[in-house]
Structure 1
Amino acid sequence: MENAPPFTSGQRLRLYRDLADWYPLLTPVGDYAEEAAFYRGMFEKHAQRLPRTLLDLGSGAGHNAAYLKETLACTLLDLEPAMLACSRQMNPECEHVQGDMRTTRLGRVFDCVLVQDAVNSMTSRDDLERAMRTAYEHTAPGGVALFHPDYVEETFKPGTDTGGSDGNGRGLRYLEWRWRPDSRADLYVADMAYLLKEEDGTVEAIHDRHLMGLFPRAAWLERMAAVGFDPLVISFPHECSGEAGREVFLGTRPVASPP
């Protein structure tokens, strides 16, 4: 689309910035155990080399790394300093790097690369391919990269979700409202409403808007192949995924990479 839709100017991403210390109450680390076990299993099954090192692109608060670091030496990259600060508290033994998954080049390769739901922030096909190329450049020959979007175009349904938790005297509850402003656009909107309760009982209501990429399954596979991966679609276990994230895209970097 030639002009950005007017709603795009409202994106705030406060959850990853000034509200980052509330993030563990939105999605507690315990909720990631099954997902992390699934990722580890995919690395071990599909990598043509023993998985020892991991690059997590868009690592957020480090919840996946809290489990994956048990068997993998993890390097965690995220764009937002506040999220890296949260992760350092949980994963002090891991390497943390601030950077953009579309452009960062660390000058080394890893056995495994993980791009979980942070890949949703790629709202154009060009940006998606840039993130894939970053993953490819950091994947060792015979290694694998795994991308886990919340939705592809074929599985997306407008709707709402609720959740939240309590901890350290504080509490958070949220309502997520997903909607697609234009069926021709490669994105959807996730409007988030947070109720934040402090230790003294005061409650603040906050609205946060996130723009999420939404691409057809074929576009994922075509872009992965274009950067050099041998791509594969894998079903994500329903007990882990709920309504979202039912598919992951796994790319193997050939042992003999093309010139």
Structure 2
Amino acid sequence: MASNWISYNELAWTDDFLADPADYRDEVNGYIEFINSTAVTPVNTVLHLGCGAGGFDVYFKKHYTVSGVDISTGMLDKAKLTNPEIEYIEGDMRTIRLKRLFDCVVIPDSIDYMLTLDDLKQAVQTAALHLNPGGVLLIVCKPEETFHNNNFVYTGEKGETHVTLFENNYINPYVPNTYEITLLYLIRHKGKLSTYMEESKAGLFPKKTWDKVLKDAGFNMEPRSLDGIYDKYLLGEGEYPMTVFIGRKI
């Protein structure tokens, strides 16, 4: 079940160097506003699919009882250290079945890793099966119409260790409905350099596909723009618009 990505397992520790939970505060507070303004009854419980290292949960847990699911054990280990009071479960968002219902399901942009249309349908179905009637679904994604090739750089230093991560996003014209993610790590410990590279693919679907998948799964959703969140990490010129789909289970 566990993923084999080195970025989210063996190198999960670098998250402490490249991101601080405080960096997520404004972003997550925006999601909380979307959730609370969409809900017809108070939201008490949240299922976070693709929770990663738990940075978002630092803020979600101030408002809700959170359960997190991720496929990468390295990220889950970090999440448990950051948020020991939260229940974290190893699982695949396409197939996990917890046999209980929540007031809200959130899938921040980890849903990009749904590589095929069938993967996407399965993940959205998982959300539907874990929601109370009228429950809120929040998805953060990048529809094909607004996505661009981009480069990012992240860097941080603690003690005698310095980490720099370069990320390249590339739309391969020969592989439709996907984009490529290439990560290059430069890790220096006491001046000694180690390098790691990882390549993966992510799904890239037009908005009409998102609309149909969400409607077919029984959701009444609307898109909202989310711009500028990661622009400070862009290398050179570029833009990184994202879309928030927010709505309720019918």
TM-score (norm 1): 0.88
Deviation per residue, 1:22-76 (Å, 9 max, x gap): 1222332222111110111011000111011110001010010011101110000
Question: Of 247, 250, 253, which aligns to 2:249?
Answer: 253
Q: Alpha-carbon deviation of 1:205?
A: 1.5
Deviation at 1:241, TM superposition (A): 4.5
Which structure dedicates a bigger proportion of its chain to strand?
Answer: 2
Kindly indicate whether residue 135 of structure 2 is the aligned counterpart of residue 112 of structure 1.
no
Please state whether the residue corresponding to 1:15 is helix, strand or coil.
Answer: coil
Residue of 9, 13, 31 corresponding to 1:21: 13
User: Does residue 1:240 correspond to 2:233, yes or no?
Assistant: no
Structure 1 SS opposite 2:172? coil
2:183 is matched with which residue: 180, 192, 195? Answer: 192
Return the alpha-carbon distance in structure 1 between the equivalents of residues 119 and 205 of structure 2: 12
Asked whether the 8 Å contact 1:113–1:144 carries over to 2, the reply is yes
Q: Secondary structure at the match of 1:25?
A: helix
Q: CA deviation at 1:219?
A: 0.6
Which one of the candidate residues 67, 89, 94 is aligned to 1:97?
89
| Distance change (3 Å), C-alpha of 1:98 and 1:171 | same
Match of 1:49 in 2: 41
Partner secondary structure for residue 96 of structure 1: strand
Match of 1:153 in 2: 144
User: Hey, what does 2:113 align to over in structure 1?
Assistant: 121
| Deviation larger for 184-193 or 220-229 | 184-193
Quick check: 1:136 aligned with 2:128? yes
1:181 to 160, 172, 188: 172
List gaps (5 residues or longer) in structure 1. 1-10, 255-259
| Cα separation, 2, equivalents of 1:189 and 1:12 | 17
For 1:253, give the aligned amino acid: K
Contact 1:58 1:118 in 2 (8 A): yes
1:66 equivalent in alignment to 2:58: yes
Task: State the SS of the aligned residue for 2:120.
Answer: helix
Q: In the alignment, does 2:205 pair up with 1:215?
A: yes
1:6 maps to what in 2?
none
Q: Is the 8 A contact 2:104 2:137 kept in 1?
A: yes
Q: Which amino acid aligns with 2:195?
A: A
Q: Deviation at 1:210?
A: 2.2
Query: RMSD of the TM alignment (CA)?
Result: 1.6
Partner of 2:74: 82
Q: Distance in 1 between matches of 2:102 and 2:77?
A: 23
The C-alpha deviation readout for 1:88-123, integer Å capped at 9, x for no partner, is 000000001111100111111111111012101101
How many percent identity over aligned positions?
30
Q: CA deviation at 1:239?
A: 4.0
C-alpha contact 1:53 1:110 (8 A) present in aligned 2: yes
Deviating runs (4+, > 4 A) in structure 1?
none
Decide whether the 8 Å contact of 2:147 with 2:241 is kept in 1. no
- 2:236 alignment partner in structure 1: none
Secondary structure, counterpart of 2:30 in structure 1: helix
The aligned amino acid for 1:210 is: S
- Post-superposition offset of 1:168: 4.6
Answer yes or no: is the 8 Å Cα contact 1:148–1:245 preserved in 2: no
Name the aligned partner's letter for residue 113 of structure 2.
S
The whole-number CA distance in structure 2 between the counterparts of 1:49 and 1:187 is 37
Task: Identify which range, 125-134 or 21-30, moves more after superposition.
Answer: 21-30
Q: Provide the rounded CA distance (Å) in 1 between the counterparts of 2:23 and 2:193.
A: 25
